[in-house]
A and B are shown apart, each in its own frame.
Chain A
Amino acid sequence: MVLIALLISPLLTFFLLLAYGSRWSYRTISYVGVLGIALSAVLAIFLLDNCLSSGEHSALLWRVLNPDLMGNLFLDAILYVDTLSSMMTLLVSWIALLIALYSIEYMAQNENAARFFALINLFVFFMLLLLLAGDLWLLFLGFEGVSLCSFLLIGFYFNKPQALKAAFKAFITTAFGDLFLLLALVLCLQTFDIIDLQKIFAATADGSVDPKRASMISLLFLLAATGKSAQAPLTIWLADAMWGPTPVSALIHAATMVTSGVYLLARLSPLLELCVDIKALVLMIGAFTMIMAALVALIENDLKRVLAYSTMSQVGLMFMAIGVGGYGASIIHLMAHAFFKALLFLCAGTIGRSVGSYDMANMGDLRSDLKKTLGLFLIAAASLIGLPITAGFFSKETILSLMKHESTSIYFIGLAGVFLTGLYTTRMVVTVFFGAKREHRALSENFNPITFLSMVVLAILSLGFGLIGPEVSKALTLAIKGSHVTLYRGLHGWESVAIALLSITIYLFYDRSIKQKLVFTISDGTLRILRGDLGIYWLYRALLIDPYLTLTASLRSDPVERGIRLLSVTASRILSSLSLLHRPSLIYQLWFYILTGTAIITAMVLR
């Protein structure tokens, strides 16, 4: 009951806002919009409580396909609740609630606010469906659903052509990833005759499945996850997705949807544990994306794009954690990341409002104007870097200790990621809040209490998550099959702290003139390569986009149809030259031939 109400509540609000949004006042719209999510958030607490006390359970919603319709195929809609899914539900619904509260002020001036709140609610519905899905069909529905909401919300400011283009790009890229999920769905049903995930895991556990099949399926899932989580090679859409409203970037493109690839892989842990190669691939993809995105974040000048690349980089770290078997650790980092990255985006929203743009070249010396924002931003940034006692410190430590346990080289890659994170975060803080003052509007901040409250809650979570972290981590590690025990080292992990501090120091005490160069004028060639995600986008252009556009341009006049037309014209010429009647209409002519043909055949047979 709790489960159904939790899912239905945002969907209901979506329909309410769709139907009556144009008639209601802004106040009603925003309250209804928040209420739908708030109800889910409250119910999520009960769900987790229920799950912790009575263990995992699944609920059969309805039979999608009757099993005896064709050869014993089981296609059921099932919801599955375990520690992992209920914790994620709690996280997503609460983050969504906080961001919806923040949006009340942010969206106040917008005439399309009803549409905004409706879509946010729809997104929450699909996201919760994705998390709670116990079978692959509902999972796929959730995956496609969040893509759709993301598409509509990125293009929310539809007066900007770039926003529409970005929306198009994002949907196409994620749809490409989702294609693999569809194929995985087909392959699973082919192999196991069932799409219930738990039954699939049970079937794989007894070893009756062809290992090649198993790794094929997990490879498909991995590709789907890379599309959703903007990992290599499907990285190209996330940075452009920042054209959407900032609360959307915070919710969808930082805290929840982008990390659903990580969730998918953690959910599939029993399958991944069977395929060592695929796990190694996850590790490689994660490592590459983490380093690549951090390098790009170092040279980007748009605040939101820096944050977007930072998201990709952090999700890369989560992928690496999965690659070394730390499913629980990756989810812990997912949670911590959701807190501090959402807060960073909300701060960015406030900054963008007061400056009038997100270009960091227009910012600088905002510390005196935006005091509260500076405080919140610093907390979130410290958490992102992983300074001691913050949430980020705790979660990164869990991952790094696993890496150290696994192999030294992986550990060094992880530390390199920490170093780069420290570098680009410090650069971001310094250029936005300190440094030389530049031309900007710099309105003074006066927070609406609700807005401020939502940000403070996120700040508290970004700071204090480490306190409850060990408990969460233990519960998750127990819940996720195949998850390695996470060795939380506390302050013993001095290397990462040292490296983080080193990166900050390097940045702060670097010669100012060189720093200016480092920030804004790296040589153009390097810049261009970095901007296109280390050439990935260039590859797409050269191999896919441009050829497709050339192809479509050359096919526009439909050459095949022309060929057929030429053929038919020639045929009709021949026919009319054979015609015995004087200029008959074409129908009579054709019937004449039909009847003649019939007569000839009849004569042949009767003979």
Chain B
Amino acid sequence: MIWALLAWHLSLALSSIFVGRFFPRWASSNSALASTVGLILALSVLHNMSLGIEQSIRFLWIAALNIEFSFSVDELSIWFILLSEVLGLLASYLAFNNKASPIHHASLAWLLFSLVGLFLANDLLLFFFFWEGMLLPIYSVMFLNSPAVDRRSILRFIIITQTSSMILLLSILALVLLHAIDSDVLSFDYKVLCSRPLPKEAQLYLFLGFLLAFLIKLPSFPFHGWLIKIFNGLPAWVLMLWVLVKTSLFGLLKFSWPLFPWAAERLSIPLMYLGGFSFIYTAVLAFTQKDIKRILSFAIVSHAGILLISVFAHTASSQHGLILFLLSNALSMAGLLILFFDADTDADSFQRVCLWQKNPRFCFMFLAMLLASMGFPLFGNFMGEFLILLGIFDRSKLAVILMMAGIFLTVVYCLRFFQLVCFNEQHSKDERKSSADLGGRFSVLLVILMAILFFGITPSTIFWPTDGNVGLSMGALK
């Protein structure tokens, strides 16, 4: 099944890159096809997991360095794969709706392939290849199709991402080499590396390396600047896959405790504070913004803070909360992106028209998505936050307080956001045509809403295939 999943995504990615130029129509349906079939394949992987079937691929790739071509799936990665398939579907819908060029669709297909590969990779160097592979479509979209982003922002983005990659690569190499010195086995295999933790000193430095790379990509305070800058220039469908599928969160979960148990434990409390502070700081900034897209970008960064807290709480309930929050938050943010990034609606129209009066469907969906992201108790986001709170309660009281403050500030900026968009004071003077109401997007958003509600109302049903062992393999939980 894993074979099928990888091969499918690779073939579609390649075909849309090479064939898409000549058959634009094929390219535009291709990314949707990739994620639809990919979703079915991922679900069957999940089904196999629940039956207890071992699923992995493994053969030697570069014999000299003992680098293996090895993939496997576990209770953690399956959620990330499912999330990327679903967001891939939404992203291709958004791209199709906005009549994106074939190169965009090809980028989506390639991005999806890299994501799935990244989540399945069991070899650290393989992981790094996919990590770099994710950047290729982003760069190509930036250079080819985005006159909106200025050169400086692009350059800064490249420097930042490449720095992050370089740090990651160096850390991986150092880890493998130190491990080789320590145990006389040169291996890039995750399991082998996990089996024998390094001495404390080395753990600390290597962990900091991994951490820095992942925090930059997440992005977390204080590295959030790049996201805010490129948010306006990149198309929303690329952002959806690139930012909402938290690859670095996956990295943190997969690597920190298993590889560096001592260092992760040592730094966990300060890192929870960092997460809490990131949550609050960006929520405050989101309150000050006037531009809709900037508010959205700050909201995305802000919610990453909660995820950071929950990773380093490392308790059973925070781990469950993390998966729930990750899924529902990604869906609600995707909903907001679908609402605001559309060819029919330009940002200008939000400034001039009283939407509450003229576009009731838009306002309904907008309010629903906002309520989800501000933690209204019917939605999955709330359940996630709640379980995370429960999980961090015994770990650190200060983290609880920081998180509560963050939740409150989120309510404040979300309400302001709602009133800013829906009730514009200038509306009475301007009688211009309002932007079109949702149209076909309404049903898509309704499906998203149903999914988030489902997560919120019966959260435990989504954990059944894995017996609730979310990420239990990722080091012993408290």
Contact = CB atoms under 8 A, between A and B. Distances in A.
B460 A64 contact: yes
B360 A587 contact: no
Nearest to B364: A18
A536 to B, nearest CB: 19
B225 A565 contact: yes
Interface residues of A, number: 62
B199 interface: no
A552 B287 contact: yes
Interface stretch (B12-20, B115-123, B152-160, B337-345): B152-160
B468 A70 contact: yes
A140 interface: yes
Contact of B284 (A151, A172, A551): A551
B428 interface: yes
B159 A64 contact: no
Contacts of B281: 555, 560
- Of the listed residues A66, A70, A159, A563, the one surrounded by the most CB atoms of chain B closer than 10 A to its CB is A70
A593 interface: yes
Interface string A523-551: 00000000000000000000000000001
B180 interface: yes
Interface stretch (A47-55, A88-96, A174-182, A512-520): A174-182
A186 B320 contact: no
B272 interface: no
A148 interface: yes
Contacts of B457: 62, 64
B458 A64 contact: yes
Nearest to A137: B377
A203 interface: no
A179 to B, nearest CB: 6
B411 A594 contact: no
B228 interface: yes
B306 to A, nearest CB: 14
A69 B463 contact: yes
Interface string A187-221: 10110000000000000000000000000000000
Interface in B322-381: 354, 356-357, 360, 364, 371, 376-378
Nearest to A115: B360
Contacts of A189: 390
Nearest to B457: A64
B159 A568 contact: yes
A68 B393 CA distance: 20
B162 A186 contact: no
B407 interface: yes
A594 B222 CA distance: 24
A471 interface: no
Contacts, number: 146
Given A69-B460, A605-B181, A560 B222 contact: yes
Interface string B389-414: 11001100000100010011001100
Contact of B415 (A63, A69, A171): A171
B377 A175 contact: no
Contacts of B316: 70-71
B386 A561 contact: no
B386 A185 contact: yes
A148 B376 contact: yes
B158 A586 contact: yes
B166 interface: yes
A112 B408 CA distance: 31
Contacts of B428: 159
Contacts of B364: 18
A141 B221 contact: no
Contact of B408 (A179, A593, A597): A179
17 contacts: A65-B460, A70-B468, A73-B390, A112-B357, A141-B377, A148-B376, A158-B354, A168-B415, A168-B416, A176-B408, A182-B389, A190-B394, A552-B287, A558-B228, A561-B225, A568-B163, A601-B174
Interface of B: 155-156, 158-160, 162-163, 165-166, 169-170, 173-174, 177, 180-181, 221-225, 228, 281, 284-285, 287-289, 316-317, 320, 354, 356-357, 360, 364, 371, 376-378, 383, 386, 389-390, 393-394, 400, 404, 407-408, 411-412, 415-416, 419, 423, 425, 428, 457-461, 463, 468
* 9 closest cross-chain pairs (CB), A and B: A561-B225, A66-B460, A69-B468, A70-B316, A556-B288, A141-B377, A590-B162, A552-B288, A560-B222
Given A572-B159, A594-B169, 6 more contacts: A62-B457, A66-B463, A66-B468, A155-B419, A552-B284, A568-B156
